[in-house]
Structures are given as structure tokens and as C-alpha cells.
Chains A and B, each alone.
Chain A
């Protein structure tokens, strides 16, 4: 079986790879594009460790075929920071100690970014429900939720007028 050539956009840059028809987007990101920030936790869409944003929608990259990335725009954890400057969510995760082993953290950060893109002022309940598809076995979630809400508050306060 010949491989399929896929042309896509990852973190704002053009990207291309060859894949088998049954490969997941997560396979392509990690094994072909060497973007290993997205993690393989469950490979069944339950844990959220592989979360990426595709054309503005938060998805599990393990539940999407790599070939479906053709022509799409994908944001991964590697595209969250602005060069060497951490995204406010990343900074707040560090400040609030919202991670221990760190395996779930890329997925949480991408999912939280999608939340704040969608709703800059979430309630705690909204944040908890939005992030219900991301599992963390270390923190007990409270520190993660505090970090997300604190980042949201900082981003709202820091947003230039009219934006």
C-alpha cells in the first residue's frame, strides 16, 4: 500500500508528511513531524493528552486520521508559546503548580487555550466541564482550574482596549 502525501499547516507553518491510511493525526505529529508534545495516553479519546486545535475546534488527535489533516490548520502545544515567551496559561500552570508528572499538561494547555479563545471569561463550572475530557491523575484538578481562571483574568486585564 502506497503512502498518502498530506499537505497541511501546523502552528502557522506549512507542513507535509507521508502517512498510511490508518494512521492517526497523533501518529503523524509525533512520528513524522517530530512534534512530541502531544501525548498518547489512551488512544481512545478518553484522556485528552493528545488534544490539538484543528480549524478552531478542539479535537483529540488520536481520533482523527492523519490524512484528514489535508488543507487544515492545526495548533499543537508547540505553537502555544510566542517564541521564548510562555503563553499566560503556561506561566500560570507553573505559578500554581498545576502539574506534577506533566504527561497530561500539553493536552490541558491546548484545551484551556481553546476554552479561552471561545470564552475569555469562563466560570469555574464552565472551565471544569470544558476540561472534563482531559484526565490528570496527579493534581486532583483544583490547581489546574485555578491556573486556567487566573490566566483568563490576566489575559482579560491585559487585553488592549477594543480587542
Chain B
């Protein structure tokens, strides 16, 4: 800790140069609600902290081409207060606002929640279901990656040491599209997901699902994008048959661990239940957005 340095670069290029040139481990700081805990416990011992929050555009939400661009370090509180975003992507907003307390919401960011790479991160299944992409800056320029390709395992990401996320893109919505996110915790607040489920659907004028994405959290080393769950929904009006197929596909996708928050059997069962419930909410919201 005594050799730790801090830098707050004013540009993306300066930040990349700092990350590339660090003599030891360099950590990117957004809201810091995970990083500071890990610093204090000694779980991470970086030589350099690169605080991204002075970089223009890294905090804030913009509507671009009918979709949304969310700066990597935008706080959960700002995301929750953005009425237009909440109207179009209610699942992403409700998932983000489930993270931690009011105090944590004042600082915690989407980039931090993703790159901390916890299998139980609440915003991640919602972002994956929504089809969000991450814009990653590095020495060779910028690359755009689907959110489901960022985390490779608990605590691990596909980012190189000289790369960091600058923003997230949420695509323009087709009519009658909406998302929802649900998590199970044994109380009502201030806990970590035992299971999370994000569902995003588009319906036709008759209410039949034409496109779907379903993502499950806390049931595998990374959040899962489950194609069989989506296939169970497409072509249906969410009748009992579709719900049963969705439930089965969700349970089949789970590869959970036993831990103090839940057993393997419990997590598998709850994944099916939450997928059904989140799908019902997403369908209802989508039907209302004609």
C-alpha cells in the first residue's frame, strides 16, 4: 500500500498511457464501491489507481440515434433519475438500482459492476438481456463488445491491462419492446443476488413475441445469455406452454455452486421461477409500449 500512486487523467489517451506504463498492477477507479473494499482488505494491492472520472463524457447519459449512451462511471443514482432511460429500459434501471444502499448508489457504476466480475452482479444480466454493448478503449483505438463477452470468470475480464470501458450503448428500441429484471434475496434490501434474471422482449401488434433475450445471474461463473430461453419465448404470447419451456430452459442452463446464499438445487429451481416472472413483466411492459 505504501507504494500506491493515484492519477486522475483528463483524457482517454492519457488514461491508456498510464495503464500501459504502470510498473505493477494498475486498477481503474470509477465509483470505487468494490475497489476500496478490496484495497482495505488487501485482496488487491495495486501500484497505481487510475481514476477515470475526470475524463469528459465518462459520467452522463445521452440519447443517440434513438438509443442511449451511458458513460462508464455514471452513478446508479443518476441512472435511476433519468426518466427517458427508465421508460425505455426499465429492466436495466431497476437492476442497477438494486445494487447496494442509497450511499452505494451515489457512486457505484455500470463499468465497476461489470469489471468487478462478480457472478452475482445485478446490472449485468439486465444489460446482457437488453443487448447492451461496451465500448472499450485501448492503445489501438476503440472496440465495441457485447456485454456478455466482457466477463470471463469470477474476478476476470477479457480486457487487456491497458484497456478500460468508456461507455455502454443501449440500442434503439423497436415498438412494443421492453425489459425486466428480478433477483431473489432472502430479505427486501441490501443483499447480494442468490439468482438474477433479465428478460428483454419485442412483440408484434398481435402480442406475439418476435425477439427475446434472457440472461441469468449468480447461477454460473459468469452471467449467462440463454438462447434456449429466448427460443421458448419467440412465437408465443407467453402462454403456459411457453412459460414451461422457458422454466425448463432456464433450469437446464444453470451451473451454480452451493454457498451460504443458496444451494445448487435451490438456485436451479429459483432460476426457472424468476425467468417466468421477469418474462411476464417484460411482456406486460412491452404490450404497453405500442
Contact = CB atoms under 8 A, between A and B. Distances in A.
A1 B103 contact: no
A44 B40 contact: yes
Given A65-B32, A132-B189, A133-B190, A60 B103 contact: yes
B106 A65 contact: no
28 contacts: A1-B4, A4-B6, A21-B4, A21-B5, A21-B6, A44-B40, A44-B41, A45-B33, A45-B104, A46-B190, A57-B75, A57-B107, A58-B103, A58-B106, A59-B103, A60-B33, A62-B36, A63-B104, A64-B36, A64-B107, A65-B6, A65-B32, A65-B51, A68-B53, A111-B103, A130-B102, A131-B102, A133-B102
Contacts of A130: 102
Interface in B143-201: 189-190
Interface in B85-128: 100-104, 106-107
Contact of B37 (A4, A45, A54, A58): A45
Contacts of A44: 37, 40-41
A60 B36 CA distance: 11
B2 interface: yes
A113 to B, nearest CB: 12
B1 A45 contact: no
A36 interface: no
B109 to A, nearest CB: 12
Contacts of A62: 36
Interface string A127-156: 001111110000000000000000000000
A25 to B, nearest CB: 10
A107 B101 CA distance: 13
Nearest to A107: B103
Nearest to B39: A22
Interface in B11-47: 29, 31-33, 36-37, 39-41
| Residue in B5, B40, B41, B103 with the greatest tally of chain A CB atoms within 10 Å | B103
A22 B103 contact: no
Nearest to B41: A44
Contact of A63 (B37, B41, B102): B37
Given A65-B32, A67-B6, A45 B51 contact: no
Interface residues of A, number: 32
A60 B153 CA distance: 29
Contacts of B189: 129, 132
A132 B100 CA distance: 9
Contacts of B102: 58, 111, 114-115, 130-133
Interface string A9-48: 0000000000011101000000000000000000111101
A63 B107 contact: yes
A51 interface: yes
Nearest to B32: A63
A1 B190 contact: no
By DSSP majority rule, is chain A's interface helix, strand, loop, or mixed?
mixed
A48 B6 contact: no
Interface in A62-95: 62-65, 67-68
Interface of B: 1-6, 8, 29, 31-33, 36-37, 39-41, 49, 51, 53, 75, 77, 100-104, 106-107, 189-190
A60 B39 contact: no
B36 A133 contact: no
B5 A48 contact: no
A21 B49 CA distance: 8
- A-B pairs, 6 with minimum CB distance: A133-B101, A21-B6, A57-B106, A132-B189, A59-B106, A60-B103
A134 B104 CA distance: 11
A68 B52 CA distance: 11
Interface in A85-135: 111, 114-115, 129-134
Contact of B103 (A4, A21, A43, A45): A45
Contacts of B53: 68
B36 A24 contact: yes
A65 B37 CA distance: 11
A115 to B, nearest CB: 8
Contacts of B6: 4, 21, 65, 67
Given A43-B40, A132-B189, A133-B103, A1 B77 contact: no
